[in-house]
Chains A and B, each alone.
Chain A
Amino acid sequence: MAAEIETQHLNAYFGDVHAVKGVDLRISSNRITAIIGPSGCGKSTLIRCMNRMHEVVRGARVDGKVLVGGEDIYGPGTDPVTIRRKVGMVFQKPNPFPTMSIYDNVAAGLRLNGVRDWKRLDDTVERSLRLAALWDEVKENLAASGVSISGGQQQRLCIARALAVEPEILLLDEPCSALDPIATAKIEDLLFDLKSRYTIVIVTHNMQQAARIADNTAFMYMGKLIESGDTKTIFENPEKELTEKYITGRFG
């Protein structure tokens, strides 16, 4: 069910700004891969290329290939909408739909794609909320507004919402930066459990988080991929000096 991602000579632009420069990166399936790097290094842009969200911004364009499960998602005739159902995304600030209930939020992806069967929706909502470790906390109160729960719960709601459309890959863009340490820990545990079913890519500016949960880590700097590999190796004995300097905090 989970797929591999491979980028080949991937370049991404915002107008004239060259944000991602010739990145060749392989993401293993059923693993957590963390992408780290200083602000502005292009890590968020990189993952947004993996579900064709980058092109939503005006003036943005992509050059190169991104293979998901072996197929180029930028190939001629590919539909971004289909890609985005295969490759889900959770954003930095929790963004549940405020005019919808918790139930509606989780069901939104299916409902908006024409699913009307209540049984299927009910089952999907329960399954997704269980996967997101949120079921027990909200099952009595599914009609409550999506924004009436705490920040950490909202983020798990967004994860449930993304999982409800049954993606193969889950991309998370700094999902814990707006959350307190306990909520963060809950989400980290959750991701650990999810990796047996999905391929997970997480962008984080918190190196300790990458060190804690990621199997593989990729380090980016100024749009380029500097080094990627096994997390233990990166944090114990990195190959490139730039990587070493970044992770020991020797440049801001």
Chain B
Amino acid sequence: MTSYNARKLKSQAAALLALGCVLVALIPLASILYEVVSRGLPAVDWAFLTERTKSSGQPGSGIGNAILGTVLLVGWGSLIGLPMGILTGIYISEYGNNWFGRTVRFFNDILGNFPSIVIGLLAYSLVVTVVGFSMISGAVALGIIMVPLVASTTEEALRMVPNSLREASLALGVPRWKTVLKIMLSNARSGLVTGALLAVARIAGETAPLILTAFGNSFWETGLFEPVSALPLVIFRNAMSPYADLQQQAWGAAFVLIMMVLALNIVVRLLTRLRFKSMSKKKVVSKIWLQRLRPST
């Protein structure tokens, strides 16, 4: 066999091996999807999505309040986590070139690796001991989980903005804080949005902290200081129950949750793609200009 053929064969063998590993890695994903869809989809109907959760045996039980609860928890959590995360990210990226900044970055990385149940415990000791199991304590836990994620992606997005733009703005006599706000952020926009959405998708699925904070609720509840239901909690509790109908609900809830996360991820991808397309034509600015342009041509 010529050396060329031998090399070709080796190359093909390596490619096949890599493909094989990919397929193996995809097996768990495929099986999860299969299980969830096959067991969960049948449980989903309009009633399922709009009724509140009830105990086993009671008719008309659904996950409506859990969906609402997840949405509210994610919303309040983002309200807490996004601004803190973005501002932290800005600080680390723009002003953090000293020992303090490095320390912040270090602790940010550590916090990002904390087990989420520990964060739940923190929220428990800080908030639940004061106001009891509640939406706000869940939101606090989720917000804290979000901060390191958003801070990292924000820092990354800002770092990707070419330094030449920063210099151009400073050279025009624009003060530093305005440069950061107007120039850097607007150029890092898509990175920031992506980071935020990914963080949101992540906390939508967090379970452990919610057990210790939001606690769960069988009723429609939107009060900040009341325990609230959430999809991961429903999945957790119902999966462990001995009743078949409740287990069915767990699969249904899992299906809905995965669909939500999938939808968020698809939105992120679409937004990223759209950004590149829209680079050619940009905003029109002054209405006076439009008026002036017409008579002159």
| Chain A interface residues toward B at CB < 8 A | 51, 53, 56, 58, 81-86, 88-89, 91, 93, 95-101, 103-104, 107-109, 112-113, 118-119, 121-122, 140, 142-145, 147-148, 158, 161-162, 165
Contact = CB atoms under 8 A, between A and B. Distances in A.
B146 to A, nearest CB: 26
Nearest to A111: B182
Contacts of A100: 282-283
A5 B288 CA distance: 39
Residue among A86, A112, A121, A158 facing the most chain B CB atoms (10 A cut-off): A112
24 contacts: A53-B170, A58-B97, A81-B174, A85-B173, A88-B171, A91-B164, A91-B168, A93-B164, A95-B165, A97-B183, A98-B279, A100-B282, A103-B286, A104-B282, A104-B285, A107-B285, A112-B174, A112-B178, A142-B289, A144-B280, A144-B282, A161-B168, A161-B172, A162-B172
Contacts of B168: 91, 95-97, 158, 161
By DSSP majority rule, is chain B's interface helix, strand, loop, or mixed?
A: helix
A101 B285 contact: yes
A140 B36 CA distance: 57
B281 interface: yes
A7 B288 CA distance: 45
Contacts of A95: 162, 164-165, 167-168
B5 interface: no
Given A104-B283, A144-B281, A145-B282, A97 B172 contact: no
B222 interface: no
A140 B297 CA distance: 8
Contacts of B167: 53, 56, 91, 95
Nearest to B173: A85
B162 A113 contact: no
A156 B139 CA distance: 51
B285 A112 contact: no
Contacts of B38: none
A104 to B, nearest CB: 6
A120 B162 CA distance: 30
Contacts of A112: 169, 172, 174, 178, 182
Interface string B273-297: 0000001111111111100110001
Nearest to B182: A112
A95 B285 CA distance: 20
Given A104-B283, A118-B286, A143-B285, 12 more contacts: A51-B171, A81-B173, A84-B171, A91-B164, A95-B164, A98-B165, A103-B289, A104-B282, A112-B178, A122-B286, A122-B288, A142-B293
